[in-house]
Amino acid sequence: METFAIVREKLDQAVEVLREKEVDLWITFVRETSQVRDPCLDLILGLDLTWQSALMISRTGERIAIVGRYDADNVRNIGGYTTVIGYDQSIREPLLEQVQRLNPRRIGLNFSESDPAADGLTHGMFRVIAGILGGTEYSARLTSAEEVIAALRGRKTAAEIDHIRAAIGATEGILREVEALVQPGMTEREIAAFIHQTTRKRGLTPAWEPEYCPIVCAGPEGTFGHRMPGDYQTQVGALLQIDFGVRREGFVSDLQRTLYFCRPGEESPPEEVMRAWRAARAALEAGRAALRPGAQGWQVDAAARQTLVEAGYSEYLHAFGHHIGRTVHDGATVLGPRWERYGKSIEGVIEVGNVFAIELGVWVPGYGYLGCEEDVLVTPDGAEYLSEPQEEIWCIRK
Amino acid sequence: METFAIVREKLDQAVEVLREKEVDLWITFVRETSQVRDPCLDLILGLDLTWQSALMISRTGERIAIVGRYDADNVRNIGGYTTVIGYDQSIREPLLEQVQRLNPRRIGLNFSESDPAADGLTHGMFRVIAGILGGTEYSARLTSAEEVIAALRGRKTAAEIDHIRAAIGATEGILREVEALVQPGMTEREIAAFIHQTTRKRGLTPAWEPEYCPIVCAGPEGTFGHRMPGDYQTQVGALLQIDFGVRREGFVSDLQRTLYFCRPGEESPPEEVMRAWRAARAALEAGRAALRPGAQGWQVDAAARQTLVEAGYSEYLHAFGHHIGRTVHDGATVLGPRWERYGKSIEGVIEVGNVFAIELGVWVPGYGYLGCEEDVLVTPDGAEYLSEPQEEIWCIRK
């Protein structure tokens, strides 16, 4: 199964990352993952687990899975684990035995104050593993695996990039169908329903929670941002902004498209709207130009933010960009401003193989919200578009 | 929206539970919940949140939500929160301010070593909130909210029970369609594909991870338990067991049905199979009889387990029962044996309003696996079936 081929590839990559980050043993410690799911499971397992389970990857190259007996065969099927131990009553003994045998100096666990994607270990399960290791020298060797996870998740393999590209292509197709369909007088809710229907027809699901995916912002009266589609209507002489992505075979896309409903006789949006659009596009391009290997997240945001502000527009109240991959906020480095809520995430360094959604927008009083969002791949020479970037506002004449 | 009506009902119930359990303030502390989702969110919010967010419920009756500015309107729409604070840069100040104003002696957080449904707080987020409260007297007042969550989740309201009942009805319908369809020579995978198709057609989704939902165990050669449907085929003179449930409007069911493919001329399964079935059914009924308000989880399991063993069959290697509701392992009390992996969960006390799936099975060499699983509601007089219990093996004559 192809899912497992990608998992095996990531397991190999994980060993390399452990060597680079000097973490001897990385333990993903989970249970009942259909209830609370550590985001790392998609990377290194691709299955759910029921009882307390430890996925242990060692810098020596061993990959040991200790799982409930009913899960053991499924984990063996993946083919990426060198040892699979199925237990009946308690994980304590096999876990202690493996840790003692491997004798790691640094043990990485999945917790992070700044990176949600590296923070899948629950506090209860932290207490369980700290209890199991309590009284041994290993309990003092526990550390955050956030750097390991950030590198592993962020450095997309060729197969991962292909999957993201396919999700983007599907999203662009759906957004073009919306362009063909929309008319003045439709509510945000109607547009969202059409997008959901089209997505389902193609056998896909929304990239994030369906209530907010798509986000639809019609006309000049609403508010913009992370809210559910409502009763606001598209209008002649006003903007329509859509923020949408799909999940396709486990990978996602995240794009925004901006439309304008021309008045009779109008060939393009009024100058006020065009000026804002050019400023937004220029800011997006400035951010993309700064998105190079070695840059820090906040530097990329600052390039875009400054360009927008210098053009005379308010700064956007969110981050410029975020990783996408298995999820739409795919962890690690955020391309965001130095605000407390972003923590250390904005200090992360851009690496080759990273895939980001980059976005910003402008509120144009009297017309509504316009937003640009594209998906890009970081190469040694800079960030290249994976999506076909929207260079002009899509004008609807109906 | 009906979802929010149930959320408001649970928020009212939460205040009562806090008074009973003498917890002054219960804080659900989350971020990026589309990535790591605290199971309590379904109970008290019904939405996802993006930035660091605190849902604070006080025994005084106040319900305060501190969320990122873009989420604030959506939380206001629920109508169940008395105060909704949207912030731009940091949750620190509003959170500290509210805690100081409420001045709680005991602050419950969502962590638990034994109950996954009460363990939605990540270790990283625990460190964040401990840091925010660090240096105040409140950091020493943090405690597990597991008892609050167990009571709130376990005591189903009338509306919740109606929803579960509807999910069970839909599942029974799908399983009857399977009965009408199956023939000797079908693979487990084919049966699972039919069930997925039928589920989708009805606008429903599987109750747990689709790879394992349904679990299908055909004939005498396979293994049984929590594994994916494979290439084993249904056979004349052999059993077929299916473990399946659906999610319908946010609530789930979990049932097993056992089928037997009669040989030419056979009217019912052979005596060897019938004896095992009667033993399994008697054990299930013994467990159900023990499932009364005030009993502890392990006592219920012991009643069923002992009945089966006394009839001369091996004990099942899992727990007898688990809560169902929003999820199929709906937290808190497990009706399981005193094995280490069940921790304290089996010491929980059964309460009126609890809904459990109860299950067990027997491997019949030469025939395959037979399983019984039904869903029941605990009333003051004992556990009543919500499903139509399978009293006889379904015999297929084709």
pLDDT tens-digit series, residues A324-343: 999 898 877 999 999 877 88
Q: How confident is the model at residue A398 (pLDDT cuts 50, 70, 90)?
A: confident
- Beta-carbon separation of B340 and A38 below 8 A: no
Q: How confident is the model at residue A226 (pLDDT cuts 50, 70, 90)?
A: low
Which of B71, B88, B116 lies nearest to residue A32, judging by beta carbons? Answer: B116
CB contacts, 8 Å: B109 with chain A: 123
- Beta-carbon separation of A113 and B127 below 8 A: yes
pLDDT(B382) > 70? yes
Q: How confident is the model at residue B344 (pLDDT cuts 50, 70, 90)?
A: confident
Q: Could you give the CA distance from residue A260 to residue A252 in angstroms, rounded to a whole number?
A: 27
Picking from A173, A236, A235, A248, the residue whose alpha carbon sits closest to that of residue A207 is A248
Q: Could you give the CA distance from residue A273 to residue A391 in angstroms, rounded to a whole number?
A: 14
pLDDT(A64) > 70? yes
* Chain B contacts in chain A segment 295-324 (CB below 8 A): 317-318
pLDDT at A331: 73
**CATH superfamily, domain at B155-396:** Creatinase/methionine aminopeptidase superfamily (3.90.230.10)
Nearest CA in chain B to A75: B227
At A281-314, the pLDDT tens digits run 999 999 999 999 999 999 999 999 999 999 999 9
pLDDT at B234: 95
DSSP A202: T
Name the architecture of domain A2-153.
Answer: 3-Layer(aba) Sandwich (3.40)
pLDDT at B211: 85
- Beta-carbon separation of B122 and A113 below 8 A: no
**Helices (H), ranges, chain A:** 2-21, 40-44, 69-78, 92-102, 123-133, 146-154, 158-181, 188-201, 271-290, 297-310
At A252-292, the pLDDT tens digits run 999 999 999 999 999 999 999 999 999 999 999 999 999 99
pLDDT at B1: 47
- Beta-carbon separation of B128 and A112 below 8 A: no
Contacts for A34 with CB less than 8 Å, ≥ 6 apart = A48, B208, B209, B327, B328, B329
pLDDT at B42: 93
pLDDT(B2) > 80? no
- Sheet of A25-30: strand order equals A83-87, A63-68, A53-58, A25-30, A107-109, A142-144
* Chain B contacts in chain A segment 192-211 (CB below 8 A): 208-209, 211
Which of B51, B123, B223 lies nearest to residue A73, judging by beta carbons? Answer: B223
Domain boundaries, chain B: 2-153, 155-396
Q: Could you give the CA distance from residue B30 to residue B46 in angstroms, rounded to a whole number?
A: 13
Residue B89 to chain A, least CA–CA distance (Å): 6
Count CA within 13 A, CB hemisphere, residue A229. 27
- Beta-carbon separation of B34 and A327 below 8 A: yes
Token pair of B93, please? 């100040």
Residue A68 to chain B, least CA–CA distance (Å): 9
Q: Give the mean pLDDT of B168-187.
A: 97
Q: How confident is the model at residue A1 (pLDDT cuts 50, 70, 90)?
A: very low
Query: Looking at the complex, does the CB of residue B139 fall below 8 Å from at least one CB of chain A?
Result: no
pLDDT at A212: 86
Question: What percent of chain B stands above pLDDT 70?
Answer: 99
Are A104 and A141 spatial neighbours (Cβ–Cβ below 8 Å)?
Answer: yes
Which of B91, B211, B317 lies nearest to residue A88, judging by beta carbons? Answer: B317
At B251-303, the pLDDT tens digits run 999 999 999 999 999 999 999 999 999 999 999 999 999 999 999 999 999 99
- Beta-carbon separation of A212 and B48 below 8 A: yes
- Beta-carbon separation of B70 and A318 below 8 A: yes
Q: Give the mean pLDDT of A227-241.
A: 92
- Beta-carbon separation of A36 and B225 below 8 A: no
Q: What is the pTM of this model?
A: 0.84
At A34-63, the pLDDT tens digits run 889 999 999 999 988 989 999 999 999 999
CB contacts, 8 Å: B119 with chain A: 36, 122-125
Residue B268 to chain A, least CA–CA distance (Å): 31
Residue B56 to chain A, least CA–CA distance (Å): 19
* Chain A contacts in chain B segment 90-119 (CB below 8 A): 90-92, 109, 111-119
pLDDT(B308) > 90? yes
Q: Mutating which of B143, B200, B226 best tests the A interface, going by the most A Cβ atoms within 10 A?
A: B226
Count CA within 13 A, CB hemisphere, residue B381. 2
Picking from A112, A163, A129, A215, the residue whose alpha carbon sits closest to that of residue B71 is A215
pLDDT at B225: 66
Residue A345 to chain B, least CA–CA distance (Å): 13
Mean pLDDT of chain B: 95
* Chain B contacts in chain A segment 18-37 (CB below 8 A): 31-32, 34-37
Number of CB pairs, chain A paired with chain B, less than 8 A apart: 173
- Beta-carbon separation of A122 and B120 below 8 A: yes
Q: Could you give the CA distance from residue B50 to residue A215 in angstroms, rounded to a whole number?
A: 14
pLDDT(B331) > 80? no
- Beta-carbon separation of B340 and A111 below 8 A: no
- Beta-carbon separation of A36 and B36 below 8 A: yes
Element (H, E) at A396: strand A394-396
Per-residue DSSP letters for B359-374?
Answer: EEEEEETTTEEEEEEE
pLDDT at A254: 98
Residue A268 to chain B, least CA–CA distance (Å): 31
Q: How confident is the model at residue B228 (pLDDT cuts 50, 70, 90)?
A: confident
Residue whose entry in the numeric block shows the structure tokens 């229907």? A197
Q: Which long-range contacts (CB under 8 A, 24 or more apart) does B77-86 make?
A: B77/A228, B77/B4, B78/B4, B78/B7, B78/B8, B78/B45, B78/B46, B78/B47, B79/B4, B79/B8, B80/B4, B80/B7, B80/B8, B80/B11, B80/B44, B81/B11, B81/B55
CB contacts, 8 Å: A70 with chain B: 225-227, 317-318
pLDDT at B102: 98
At A120-148, the pLDDT tens digits run 999 999 999 999 999 899 999 999 999 99
- Beta-carbon separation of A34 and B70 below 8 A: no
- Beta-carbon separation of A35 and B88 below 8 A: no
Q: Could you give the CA distance from residue B290 to residue B72 in angstroms, rounded to a whole number?
A: 46
Question: What percent of chain A stands above pLDDT 70?
Answer: 99
CB contacts, 8 Å: A124 with chain B: 111-116, 118-119, 121, 144
